[in-house]
């Protein structure tokens, strides 16, 4: 385990931000240095990463915020778009589809909610004393879009892996292939400069006219016209009527911490349930069989509940708080065999995402996720605006009896789920991960290590991880472990009946990109981001 001790967290006295791309972390750090608060730093980082990490997120996706103010109140922003007016089951059935397409214009069937979330976050930032103008917060993103940014290794790799299904989607080649697709449609090489000038123009327009312009102004008009020409079922009226909203976050009180998570349509319930069920098992130390087996089995219990009850928030039929009571968590823990693996698999969810976290000495903390779902989302790029549209609506079912059937105005299921925790000694932690089905599992791995067992923050994120089910860009269902995983524990898991396989890499993207920031009781800040990502934490 010594080799993982080298991944240290960053410390500061004023603020810290963690992001899966270093340019995003630097954009947030600059805002903190100039006196901006953690929410403002997050907006700058979120805008920047939407430019420089387009395979994971862009301006055409959704987002979810947890924001804790100095008073200790935790607010939650749901910025999830709903299915467009033309997105009916009959529309897809008549077009010959048995399932919602995963790429192309017909995959771009939900309103992008992310910018609406930025709008609400801007309002909250001002309410918490923020004074930074929008133009300043978008400055770094505009610069990187117009002047160009260095292509990351993961962008090159994932463009190559998904090229066959993306290269013919309208707008994709011109925006995201080398030389605008003129050289035969090759992926851009790592380290080369990629410019997205149309996106820079859009960001400049938003900086001047305000974020509402995305839905109800010039940007919205141009985006809607492009969507109509491409054949997307999202209309201009859909864009004009969209509003992000504040909801009450999910919350749970364990023996060792308080937890907050995102309610439906996200799988935030699963993250809280896994930690809550595991807490009931009374495991004494990390990294052994009891720790890993306990979390994997708690994951199974949580996923069974999630798949049964999580849907559009406005269509819930049960009170989710009932699954987070001490009695409910104890009941789920009692169903776990501490020596044998329960039968699996179940259907698994997929998704690509970025998680970012920030905190400052005033007591503000932010846990934020934004996403376009699969690698490059639908692949559809609006030629007038440079906006890449998500394919989140591919998670809808064309079966009217399904838990999440396609209907105009309905929000799809989301893997995205930011988290927060307060520890008994007063430390406040914002944490999260990308990685589809792996998100709640990684959240539980990191927080059980740091919050329950006292593992240093950097090591809690860096140590070898595991994954039950499918994650971003992958269809495997069983239990996988990283190459650096303890072989003796792996053997114990195999003997217990887990269907286990080892990945060849010590650090694997398959396990997602996790991060965390901590506000300590005396005002010091600390942060870390995953060595599996292209990012880091930056402190001031």
Active site residue ranges: 353
Residue 18, C-beta contacts closer than 8 angstroms, at least 6 positions apart: 25, 356, 357, 358, 515, 516, 517, 527, 528, 529, 535, 536, 537, 538
User: Is 413 in contact with 394 (CB distance < 8 Å)?
Assistant: no
Structure token pair of residue 533: 């990502």
Residue 29, C-beta contacts closer than 8 angstroms, at least 6 positions apart: 15, 17, 41, 538, 539, 540
Residue 207, C-beta contacts closer than 8 angstroms, at least 6 positions apart: 134, 135, 138, 139, 142
Interatomic CA distance for residues 198 and 536, integer angstroms: 28
Q: What is the DSSP letter of 217?
A: S
Which stretches of 4-88 are DSSP H helices? 22-33, 38-52
| Cβ-based neighbour number of residue 314 at 10 Å | 11
Q: What's the burial of 494, exposed, middle or buried (CB within 10 Å: 0-12/13-18/19+)?
A: middle
User: Is 419 in contact with 447 (CB distance < 8 Å)?
Assistant: yes
Which of 205, 57, 209 has its CA nearest to residue 142? 205
Pairing of the two strands 245-247 and 419-422: unpaired
Interatomic CA distance for residues 346 and 333, integer angstroms: 19
**What is the number of residues in the chain?**
540
User: Is 109 in contact with 233 (CB distance < 8 Å)?
Assistant: yes
**Phi, then psi, of 160 in degrees rounded to 5:** -65, -45
User: Is 15 in contact with 525 (CB distance < 8 Å)?
Assistant: yes
Residue 184, C-beta contacts closer than 8 angstroms, at least 6 positions apart: none
Rg of the chain's alpha carbons, rounded to an integer?
Answer: 22
End-to-end CA distance of the chain: give it in Å, rounded. 29
Distances from the Cα of 488 to the Cα of 64, 287, 442, 530, angstroms? 39, 11, 21, 25
Map residue 261 onto helix, strand or coil: strand
Rounded to the nearest 10°, the torsion over CA 429, 435, 438, 443 is: 0
User: Is 7 in contact with 527 (CB distance < 8 Å)?
Assistant: no
């Amino acid at each position: 385990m010594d080799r993982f001790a080298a991944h240290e967290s960053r410390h500061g006295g004023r603020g810290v931000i963690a992001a899966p791309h270093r340019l995003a972390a630097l954009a947030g750090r600059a805002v903190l240095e100039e006196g901006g608060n953690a929410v403002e730093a997050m907006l700058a980082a979120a805008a920047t990463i939407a430019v420089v990490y387009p395979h994971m997120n862009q301006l055409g996706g959704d987002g979810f915020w947890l924001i804790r103010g100095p008073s200790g109140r935790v607010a939650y922003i749901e910025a999830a778009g709903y299915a467009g007016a033309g997105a009916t089951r009959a529309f897809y059935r008549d077009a010959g589809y048995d399932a919602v397409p995963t790429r192309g214009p017909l995959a771009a069937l939900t309103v992008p909610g992310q910018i609406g979330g930025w709008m609400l976050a801007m309002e909250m930032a001002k309410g918490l004393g923020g004074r930074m103008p929008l133009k300043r917060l978008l400055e770094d993103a505009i610069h990187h879009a117009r002047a160009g940014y260095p292509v990351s290794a993961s962008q090159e790799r994932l463009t190559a892996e998904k090229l066959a299904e993306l290269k013919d989607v309208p707008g994709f080649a011109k925006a995201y292939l080398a030389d605008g697709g003129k050289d035969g449609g090759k992926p851009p090489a790592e380290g080369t400069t990629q410019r997205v000038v149309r996106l820079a123009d859009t960001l400049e327009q938003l900086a001047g006219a305000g974020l509402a312009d995305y839905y109800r102004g010039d940007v919205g008009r141009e985006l809607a016209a492009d969507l109509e020409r491409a054949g997307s079922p999202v209309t201009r009226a859909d864009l004009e009527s969209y509003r992000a909203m504040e909801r009450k976050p999910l919350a749970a009180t364990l023996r060792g911490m308080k937890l907050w998570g995102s309610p439906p349509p996200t799988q935030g319930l699963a993250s809280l349930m896994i930690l809550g069920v595991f807490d009931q098992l009374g495991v004494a130390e990390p990294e052994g069989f009891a720790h890993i087996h306990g979390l994997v089995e708690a994951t199974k219990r949580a996923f069974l509940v999630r798949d049964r009850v999580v849907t559009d928030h406005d269509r819930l039929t049960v009170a989710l708080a009932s699954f987070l009571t001490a009695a409910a968590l104890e009941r789920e823990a009692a169903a776990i065999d501490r020596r044998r693996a329960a039968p699996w698999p179940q259907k698994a969810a997929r998704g690509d995402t970025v998680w970012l976290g920030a905190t400052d000495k005033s007591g503000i903390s932010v846990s934020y996720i934004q996403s376009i779902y699969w690698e490059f989302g639908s692949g559809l790029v609006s030629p007038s605006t440079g906006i890449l549209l998500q394919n989140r609506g591919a998670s809808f079912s064309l079966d009217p009896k399904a838990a999440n059937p396609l209907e105009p105005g309905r929000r799809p299921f989301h893997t995205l789920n930011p988290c927060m925790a307060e520890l008994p000694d007063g430390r406040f932690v914002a944490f999260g991960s990308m990685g589809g089905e792996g998100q709640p599992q990684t959240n539980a791995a990191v927080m059980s290590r740091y919050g329950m067992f006292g593992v240093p923050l950097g090591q809690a994120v860096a140590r070898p991880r595991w994954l039950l089910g499918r994650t971003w860009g992958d269809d495997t269902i069983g239990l996988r472990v990283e190459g650096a995983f303890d072989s003796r524990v792996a053997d114990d898991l195999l003997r217990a009946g887990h269907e286990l396989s080892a990945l060849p890499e010590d650090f694997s993207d398959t396990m997602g990109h996790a991060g965390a920031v901590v506000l300590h009781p005396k005002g010091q800040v600390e942060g870390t981001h995953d060595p599996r990502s292209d990012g880091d934490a930056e402190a001031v």
